Amino acid sequence: MKEINSYYKIKKINNKFNIFKNKKRIAELGCYPGGWTKYLKELNIKNFISIDIKKTKYNKNYLMGSINNNLTKKKIKKIFIKKICLIISDSCPKLTNSKYINKIFLERHLKKIFFFTYEFLKKGGSIIYKTMNYVNYSMIKKFLRNFQYTKKIEFVKKKRSSEIYYYHYNFLK
Ligand SMILES: C[S@@+](CC[C@H](N)C(=O)[O-])C[C@H]1O[C@@H](n2cnc3c(N)ncnc32)[C@H](O)[C@@H]1O
């Protein structure tokens, strides 16, 4: 079920923004159980790696590890000698019943995604990532200044706790 929901989300995002067009090297952060990967395969995209701390079967492009782990990063650099054109991240820490704790977890996790981007994204590249509407916006605001354009994507609006995807493109570094 989770996998199907995720699949339709990335499909909707792509139908609207055509995110994969001319993207040669793609990194998918947080790929388990595999909805987004399934979509990438359907589009016949080959030059991608999918990363997760959980083990997934059926994905030969899969790399097991955390996105902030040095060994994982070393492996990525071996696979992609040049910098990455597109990062797509549905990655998210395990959430609790407490919004307060979740906020801390999510902000810590966002930092990992941002550091990953600074290290791996090529100039002119793009990133899509998920967060929640209660995460401190100043963090995101600081990050988005590194890009020429930003789009905010919400599937459910007007809920006190809901997911938001940010699409930043044309990395300026
Ligand atoms: C919502 S799921 C992703 C669903 C996926 N996009 C799909 O289509 O099936 C979030 C994933 O992020 C992964 N994750 C969380 N922290 C991570 C990290 N530091 N490095 C890699 N993956 C991480 C989790 O293990 C989890 O599988």
Residue 95 has pLDDT above 80, yes or no: yes
Distance from Cα 77 to the centre of ligand 1, integer Å? 20
Which residues are CB-contacts of 81 (< 8 A; sequence separation ≥ 6)?
A: none
Number of structural domains in the chain: 1
Find the domain containing 70 and state its range: 2-171
pLDDT value for 1: 63
Q: CATH code at 121?
A: 3.40.50.150
Which residue's CA lies nearest to atom 27 of ligand 1?
32
Cα 137 vs. chain centroid, distance in angstroms? 17
56 lines ligand 1 (CB under 6 A): no
pLDDT value for 44: 95
Q: For residue 36, which atom of ligand 1 is closest to its CA?
A: 8
> What percent of the chain lies above the pLDDT cut of 70?
98
The whole model's pTM is what? 0.96
The 10s digit of each residue's pLDDT in 21-74 is: 999 999 999 999 999 999 999 999 999 999 999 988 767 889 999 999 999 999
H-assigned helices in 18-127: 35-42, 70-79, 99-120
Query: Predicted confidence band at 87 (pLDDT cuts at 50, 70, 90)?
Result: very high
d(CA 128, CA 101): 24
Positive or negative, the CA dihedral 71, 76, 81, 82 is negative
The pairing of strands 62-64 and 26-29 is: unpaired
pLDDT value for 160: 72
Residue of 52, 73, 155 to test ligand 1 pocket, by largest number of atoms within 8 Å of CB: 52
